[in-house]
Structure 1
């Protein structure tokens, strides 16, 4: 296998591969990493099912992805609505065709205090609970050898999950703490899903794509973004001597999702946190940088989150 690193792109990962016959679901393909992920997979022959909130805006996505040699089908999905999640899952179950990969890519970041239509804190409800319900409902379609890739972030270091107050009902709302909780939940979901399904030949992994200039920062002003990068760099240098934070290109940022889904050894990535097309080790500093915090891969924490998530969405999986 070629050596990959922080500069690797989606096309580097998939070079020489033919994905004909692979059926892959990617959430959030209207732009950014999801669009690039879909483009790369279709370019190598995969049949991609991409989700968008509004199908009326689908033509630019289709134009950007292209048609050959693979294909792109779009379905409507709003992860901030369990009714929408269930409708999307029901349509795929009714179709009946198996899935080889699910890439849970869609997310929101740094949103103002708010709730989803079901009353969940916006970032936890969208980034975690929406995908939790979707992926679990689609589990019967995952063929042996399938993979689930859940996009997390190095921002999981901002906060562990709070299972006593997941919706900030008693805790003062903090934008970045809320985002961190949702990204920790993404890792824990991958850990527990992998534990439950690996004996059936289905593996799950969480990935940190790396920072990139995408629509994910729509709730941040440029000054907010500059201040966050400056803070990351000052703390990182003081604590770890790490080099300055640098944005990736979108093809570079989407590469780890594709690597974990298609190229990486299943036993190597199953239940793990990956970044820069590699499995990450444990990290003990709170700053953005290489590695995963221990609480985000703790199996007991993962089981507890699963139980709480079932309670919140009102379904047992």
Structure 2
């Protein structure tokens, strides 16, 4: 694989991730699938309708900070020159799970590990490159708070914990955009809206049955959910949130917010 100008996509085998990967490949981009399940990634690349994709696989498990560090070292050893890092991976667990690193699973996967992965790969991103974080409309149902790490454990809820992890990620995105701006690297968020993907599976047969008939027909397809990412990659803006309806700047109040319990500087401590 030619390692010049690669596009790294986390969660590339999920619904939106697959759509992003296919859209990039269709444009002739060299895509790196950063995935936990490498067998699934291999099957995806070899699917009949995926023929011709110029892809590589980078093993990474965001529920393990050591795996994140190892993936960054591997990316450097492969001499990747990154055109864009697309942080699409996410999880919305219904049950409380604590990772081996001691964090609630969604909090670590969606925010802490994603922010760490971005920081570690930042030196490999080319001048004029781009970073895109997938945020979520659920960030609107929660508030920033200093005890969010403890809250994710003591008051875990499927939507509130997920929403808070995405709100924290959006805060981080603005800090990161400010930090990388001198290098000409744009940092934005993509809000895909409600998309028919595995992340909205409720682990409940009755709820899933009703959703299939009443809910999912009204929401976006994975390909539609990928559209804001593709728009963000083409834009010269930074510090913004892209949706299918348009683009808005991340609120200035998000930058270096004192309630942000794990700011950009704290991510450095994990490196």
TM-score (norm 1): 0.75
Q: Which residue of 1 aligns with 2:30?
A: 47
2:224 matches 1:256: no
Measured in 2, the distance between the counterparts of 1:225 and 1:298 equals: 36
Q: Secondary structure at the match of 2:58?
A: strand
Displacement after TM superposition at 1:108 (Å): 0.4
Q: Which residue of 2 aligns with 1:11?
A: none
Measured in 2, the distance between the counterparts of 1:207 and 1:184 equals: 12
Measured in 1, the distance between the counterparts of 2:134 and 2:125 equals: 18
Q: Secondary structure at the match of 2:96?
A: coil
User: C-alpha root-mean-square deviation of aligned residues, in Å?
Assistant: 2.9
8 Å CA contact 2:8–2:32 kept in 1: the answer is: yes
Structure 2: state its 5+ residue gaps.
none
Q: Which residue of 2 aligns with 1:298?
A: 254
Q: Which residue of 2 aligns with 1:315?
A: 270
2:219 matches 1:247: yes
2:112 matches 1:137: no
Change (3 A) 1:150 1:247: same
Displacement after TM superposition at 1:302 (Å): 7.9
Q: Which residue of 1 aligns with 2:80?
A: 97
Measured in 1, the distance between the counterparts of 2:191 and 2:22 equals: 19
Cα deviations across residues 64-102 of structure 1 (Å, max 9, x unaligned)? 47343x501112111010011111111001222210100
- Trace 1:68-217 onto structure 2 (pairs within 5 A): 68=52, 70-168=53-151, 171-217=154-200
Measured in 2, the distance between the counterparts of 1:41 and 1:197 equals: 23
Measured in 1, the distance between the counterparts of 2:105 and 2:7 equals: 26
Number of residue equivalences? 265
Displacement after TM superposition at 1:250 (Å): 1.3
Displacement after TM superposition at 1:152 (Å): 0.3
8 Å CA contact 2:4–2:81 kept in 1: the answer is: no
Change (3 A) 1:190 1:98: same
Displacement after TM superposition at 1:224 (Å): 4.4
8 Å CA contact 2:60–2:71 kept in 1: the answer is: yes
- Trace 1:5-16 onto structure 2 (pairs within 5 A): none
Structure 1: state its 5+ residue gaps.
1-19, 234-244, 282-291
8 Å CA contact 1:162–1:181 kept in 2: the answer is: no
Measured in 1, the distance between the counterparts of 2:71 and 2:138 equals: 29
Measured in 2, the distance between the counterparts of 1:105 and 1:160 equals: 22
